[in-house]
Amino acid sequence: MIAHDPLAAKHARYVLTPWAAQGGLDLPVIVRGEGVYLYDDAGNRYLDLTSGLIAVNLGHGHPAVLAAMHAQIDRLCFSPPAWFNDARAELGEALSRIAPWGDEGARAFFTTGGAGANEDAVKFAREITGRPKVLAGYRSFHGSGAGSATLTGENRRWFNEPANVMGHVVHFWAPYPYRSPFFTADPAEETQRALQHVTDVIAAENPAMVAAILIEPVVGSNGVIVYPAGYLAGLRALCDRHGILLILDEVMTGFGRTGSTFASETFGVVPDLMTFAKGVTSAYVPLGGVLVRERYATAFDAKPLPGGHTYSGHPLAMAAGVAAIRAYQEGGFFTRGRAIEQWLRAGLEAVREKYEIVGEVRGVGAFFAMEFVASRETREPLVAWQGASLGVMPALFAGLRKRGAYGFGRYNVMHVAPPLTISDAELDEGIAIIDAAVGDLAAAHAA
Ligand code: PLP
């Protein structure tokens, strides 16, 4: 605990911090945000290299979104979710217009975050198809709620396993070109091998029992893994063949992160349901939801929708969402990731060339990661798996913090996903800080 800062001491004493062992946390107390910067109570500035948790896509304090929130606060702060509401109607329409279904459109069901959205999407898919099973990737994160953690493939699921409240969830391996069990020198062959694996899993599980495949179009918190060309299209074709619904979890990839409004557009794959959260309000108000393609939303015209929450379609979140979508559109931020991609790829590749511990730089749009290795040749991870530990990240985060930046990552992978509003000069500043912090890490591991 930081004894010299009474606010930090108070935080440590009274607040449980996510995913962390609580003893000895030594963290700044953030009190203000502006643009791409966060400020602590001592006045220190931190460049936000990962848009908070890859969510604050419009930067901190976008004035138009704040103005819309202020106006909504003055007018109405709660509206019963089972009645209609003006702001909710506006956001439903705005989402349908930017969703990947063209004139067919979609209907939105609102939650307060991504975990709930995935749980509700699975519930809807089961109702629509009348089938129980859901396939999800091992290298996935779909939330830490009881159901969403069961859908999650990686070890954050383990905490939940004794309770395992969501049944009929089956995991499969998707490609990870840098470390893939499907790897061949030919990406097309790798895609085929990975698709054959899913084909076999579906056959073994009985296709008539499978309601949905749930997948992040780019693996997010497990390392920004961009699938080889044709993989998502192949999943779409498998779903079509067996009457399985494709649910894209666009919680991290949505709202401009990959250089298009949604990753479904970036990769040319049309889902049946889509989950979203984070960037929908630039994370200013907690909001998530499920977009259900119109042809499937009609399943609930005659029978009741199986779900609802006190805060479904909360007016303040709705107003923030409507204003955020307008801000993305008016500022060109849905596609600004394409320019940021060039900048990040060049800048981070230059860092990779300097330090042997950087095994790979990968990403799409404004969504990048750096993977650290002990040997480029063998691709052995820089630090071995240590259960619940965060690998090399605590040391790297401390280095970033010392140099005025905030970042996010897990084990041997550091994310770089700045707000889409970042200027070229701020990108340069970010790359220079990353360069220095990775340099420290390399020196520590060389010692
Ligand atoms: N799905 C993905 C792809 C995510 O990255 C996350 C959170 O990081 C979630 C779901 C869970 O969202 P939330 O934290 O809002 O529950």
- Burial of 51 from C-beta contacts in 10 A (0-12 / 13-18 / 19+): buried
pLDDT at 392: 85
pLDDT at 164: 67
Find the Cα–Cα–Cα–Cα dihedral 332, 333, 339, 342, rounded to 10°: -170
Is 80 exceeded by the pLDDT of residue 178?
yes
Last residue of a domain, one of 331, 355, 390: 331
In this structure, is residue 124 part of a structural domain?
A: yes
In this structure, is residue 407 part of a structural domain?
A: yes
Residues in the chain: 447
pLDDT at 169: 96
Q: What is the pLDDT of residues 39-66, one digit of tens each?
A: 999 999 999 999 999 999 999 999 999 9
In this structure, is residue 57 part of a structural domain?
A: no
- Judged by phi (left if over 0) then psi (alpha if -120 to 50, else beta), residue 156 lies in alpha
> Do both 39 and 172 map to the same domain?
no
Identify the band that residue 446 occupies on the pLDDT scale cut at 50, 70 and 90: confident
> Do both 177 and 318 map to the same domain?
yes
Last residue of a domain, one of 289, 316, 331: 331
Average pLDDT over residues 350-374: 97
Task: Please identify which residue in the block is written with the tokens 């935080």.
Answer: 11
Q: Which helix (H) or strand (E) holds 75?
A: helix 63-75
> Do both 31 and 94 map to the same domain?
no
How many whole angstroms separate alpha carbon 183 and alpha carbon 190? 5
Mean pLDDT of the chain: 95
Is 50 exceeded by the pLDDT of residue 413?
yes
Handedness of CA 340, 393, 276, 295 (dihedral sign): positive
In this structure, is residue 248 part of a structural domain?
A: yes
Of residues 394 and 290, the one with the higher pLDDT is 290
pLDDT at 343: 96
Is 90 exceeded by the pLDDT of residue 8?
yes
Average pLDDT over residues 288-316: 97
* Total domains in the fold of the chain: 2
In this structure, is residue 228 part of a structural domain?
A: yes
Identify the band that residue 388 occupies on the pLDDT scale cut at 50, 70 and 90: low
- Burial of 207 from C-beta contacts in 10 A (0-12 / 13-18 / 19+): middle
Average pLDDT over residues 363-374: 97
Of 80-84, 186-190, 383-387, give the range with the top mean pLDDT. 80-84
Average pLDDT over residues 280-306: 97
Q: What is the pLDDT of residues 125-137, one digit of tens each?
A: 999 999 999 999 9
- Burial of 306 from C-beta contacts in 10 A (0-12 / 13-18 / 19+): exposed
Average pLDDT over residues 284-305: 98
Instruction: Estimate to the nearest angstrom the gap between the alpha carbon of 50 and the chain centroid.
Output: 11
Q: Which helix (H) or strand (E) holds 136?
A: strand 133-137
Atom 7 of ligand 1, nearest CA residue? 143
Task: Please identify which residue in the block is written with the tokens 């969403």.
Answer: 148
Atom 10 of ligand 1, nearest CA residue? 142
In this structure, is residue 55 part of a structural domain?
A: no
Among the listed residues 249, 291, 308, 285, the one whose alpha carbon sits nearest the alpha carbon of residue 82:
308
355 alpha carbon – ligand 1 mean position (Å) = 31
Beta-carbon contacts of 210 under 8 Å, excluding residues fewer than 6 positions away, are 131, 133, 134, 135, 202, 242, 244
> Do both 170 and 292 map to the same domain?
yes
Among the listed residues 116, 111, 153, the one whose alpha carbon sits nearest the alpha carbon of residue 135:
153
Beta-carbon contacts of 263 under 8 Å, excluding residues fewer than 6 positions away, are 217, 218, 248, 250, 253, 254, 257
Identify the band that residue 1 occupies on the pLDDT scale cut at 50, 70 and 90: very low
3-class secondary-structure state, position 203: helix
142 alpha carbon – ligand 1 mean position (Å) = 5
> Do both 413 and 426 map to the same domain?
yes
How many whole angstroms separate alpha carbon 441 and alpha carbon 409? 14
Of residues 25 and 120, the one with the higher pLDDT is 120
DSSP 259-296: SSSSHHHHTT---SEEEE-GGGGTTSS--EEEEEEHHH
> Do both 34 and 131 map to the same domain?
no
| Cα–Cα distances in angstroms (integers) from residue 383 to residues 124, 230, 359, 443, in the given order | 41, 32, 13, 15
Identify the band that residue 155 occupies on the pLDDT scale cut at 50, 70 and 90: confident
279 alpha carbon – ligand 1 mean position (Å) = 11
> Do both 349 and 323 map to the same domain?
no
Please give the share of the chain, as a percent, with pLDDT higher than 90: 87
> Do both 198 and 254 map to the same domain?
yes
Average pLDDT over residues 345-351: 98
Average pLDDT over residues 354-364: 98
How many whole angstroms separate alpha carbon 404 and alpha carbon 396? 12
In this structure, is residue 198 part of a structural domain?
A: yes
Substitution site in 119, 142, 156 for ligand 1 pocket (most atoms within 8 Å of beta carbon):
142
3-class secondary-structure state, position 8: helix
Is 50 exceeded by the pLDDT of residue 283?
yes
Q: Could you tell me which residues are beta bridge partners of residue 292?
A: 107, 273
Average pLDDT over residues 130-157: 93
Q: Which helix (H) or strand (E) holds 31?
A: strand 30-34
Last residue of a domain, one of 308, 331, 354: 331
**What is the number of the ligand 1 atom nearest to the C-alpha of 278?**
15
Beta-carbon contacts of 113 under 8 Å, excluding residues fewer than 6 positions away, are 143, 277, 286, 287, 288
> Do both 300 and 342 map to the same domain?
no
> Do both 90 and 225 map to the same domain?
yes
Task: Please identify which residue in the block is written with the tokens 């889509």.
Answer: 274
pLDDT at 55: 98
pLDDT at 399: 94
223 alpha carbon – ligand 1 mean position (Å) = 14
pLDDT at 384: 84
Average pLDDT over residues 96-125: 98
> Do both 392 and 359 map to the same domain?
yes
Spell out where 41-121 has E strands.
45-48, 106-111
Range of the domain at 20: 6-50+332-446
How many whole angstroms separate alpha carbon 390 and alpha carbon 34? 28
φ, ψ dihedrals at 427, nearest 5°: -60, -45
Is 60 exceeded by the pLDDT of residue 373?
yes
Average pLDDT over residues 88-112: 98
**What is the number of the ligand 1 atom nearest to the C-alpha of 277?**
15
How many whole angstroms separate alpha carbon 191 and alpha carbon 178? 13
**What is the number of the ligand 1 atom nearest to the C-alpha of 114?**
12
Neighbours of 21 (CB within 10 A): 10
In this structure, is residue 1 part of a structural domain?
A: no
Ligand 1 pocket at CB < 6 A: 53, 113-115, 118, 141-143, 216, 220-221, 249, 251-252, 277, 288
Q: Which helix (H) or strand (E) holds 211?
A: strand 210-215
> Do both 254 and 125 map to the same domain?
yes
118 alpha carbon – ligand 1 mean position (Å) = 9
Q: CATH number for the domain including 224?
A: 3.40.640.10
Q: CATH number for the domain including 375?
A: 3.90.1150.10
